[in-house]
Amino acid sequence: MTGSPAAFESQVPGAVRVSAYVSLGTALLHLIFGAIVRISGSGMGCGNHWPKCYGLWFPPFDRMDLVVEVVHRYLATILGVAILILVFNAWRYRQRIGVGGAGGVWRASLLALLLVLAGGGLGAVTVITSNTWWATVAHLGIAISLIAVLVVSVIRAGGFGTDALRASGVQSRAVGGTTAAAVMALLVVLLGGMTAKVAGAAVACVGFPLCGDGSLGGGAQHLQLTHRIIAYLLVLHLCSLPFLMRKRGEPMLLQLIALAAMMLGLLQIVWAAWMILGGFPPIVRSFHQATGILIWTVTCTLAYTARVAAGRTVIAVNNRSSARASAKGALA
């Protein structure tokens, strides 16, 4: 049993795995809170001042928009520290299988650090340019890319129970279907960010699930409809995945992740209907944004886990090769 892939994955120290989990959780919290900043109109809570708020690291919390914006910045600092700890732990154990080398946590952690630095720079640009839509969407793009990299880091560290999936022989169709789900989720999240920032796009359609009154016209309405159409296609696709996976007898972990993605997709439809028909209450808009981010996270997890199970990742191939070599050495 010492030559099994899971045995090699166990060489990833717990410190690396925990650091990856903490970094991912902090990144999710930071991104969701960023959506609350946007929804509550708190993006200019500190004016055009960055990184300090009106020249202070700890300004008086006398306005709600200022409080929301400052807390978002504090979370960004905590996220940076968490990723620095992940980088340090990965560097410290970079000689371990699954940490160093191609397909290891070490390289993924370095990419995460670069994305955090880029996100901080774009955050400054967003504030200085008074929250222009293009800067906000670029900032969002960096943030969701960071989520994807941290998901990969967790999985490479053996998180989410993926050890059991090494070389499990999942059918290659799972890779294509799960990758398509992640790509659609990416488009929906980015279009959602644009819809929230482009003038008139968020309220361009007053009906649900159709657009409601009015004829098609104007960039804002086209943007809203594009966001909706891809979102509907994504939910339909997510609803099909668990059943297709079960029919093909694919690993239970993949089926469970796909089921979670499906449930989140259905929940997102509920939030969307409530948001539009209920007059866009801020709390429901926040739930809608948070669920969208979770869908992106889960579809990324599903897509990369499917690749691991199918042996389509560098670490999976390397671990199988190392396992065979170790087994031959033990027999000799």
Q: Render the burial of 236-261: b for 16+ CB within 10 Å, e for the rest.
A: ebbeebbeebeeeebbebbbebbbbb
Over residues 61-98, the pLDDT tens digits come to 888 888 888 888 899 999 999 999 999 999 999 888 88
Share of the chain above pLDDT 70, in %: 87
Q: Span 14-23, mean pLDDT?
A: 95
CA-angle at 313, arms to 310 and 318, nearest 5°: 105
For 15, 167, 297, the CA distances from 318, given in Å and listed in that order, are 22, 11, 26
Confidence of residue 3 (pLDDT cuts 50, 70, 90): very low
Phi-psi label, residue 159: left if phi above 0, alpha if psi -120 to 50, beta otherwise = beta
DSSP 99: T
For 34, 57, 75, the CA distances from 60, given in Å and listed in that order, are 21, 10, 18
Share of the chain above pLDDT 90, in %: 44
- Asked if pLDDT for residue 320 goes beyond 70, the answer is no
Between CA 76 and CA 74 the distance in angstroms is 5
Tokens linked to 8: 């090699």
Confidence of residue 191 (pLDDT cuts 50, 70, 90): very high
Confidence of residue 25 (pLDDT cuts 50, 70, 90): very high
Q: Are 151 and 201 in contact (CB under 8 A)?
A: no
- Asked if pLDDT for residue 167 goes beyond 70, the answer is no
Over residues 210-269, the pLDDT tens digits come to 887 655 567 888 899 999 999 999 999 999 999 999 998 888 899 999 999 999 999 999
Q: Span 305-326, mean pLDDT?
A: 61
- Min mean pLDDT across 174-183, 184-193, 209-218, 309-318 is at 309-318
For residue 314, what pLDDT is reported? Answer: 64
Confidence of residue 165 (pLDDT cuts 50, 70, 90): confident
Q: Name the range with the highest mean pLDDT among 38-47, 85-94, 302-311, 320-329.
A: 85-94
For residue 166, what pLDDT is reported? Answer: 66
For 106, 111, 139, 244, 245, the CA distances from 96, given in Å and listed in that order, are 10, 19, 34, 37, 33
Between CA 131 and CA 169 the distance in angstroms is 47
pTM of the model: 0.86
Is residue 99 exposed (0-12), middle (13-18) or buried (19+ Cβ within 10 Å)?
buried
Q: Rg for the chain (alpha carbons), in Å? A: 22
Q: Which of 115, 228, 248, 81 is nearest to 178 (CA)?
A: 248
For residue 299, what pLDDT is reported? Answer: 98
For residue 173, what pLDDT is reported? Answer: 75
Task: Supply the mean pLDDT for the chain.
Answer: 84
- Asked if pLDDT for residue 327 goes beyond 90, the answer is no
- Asked if pLDDT for residue 46 goes beyond 90, the answer is no
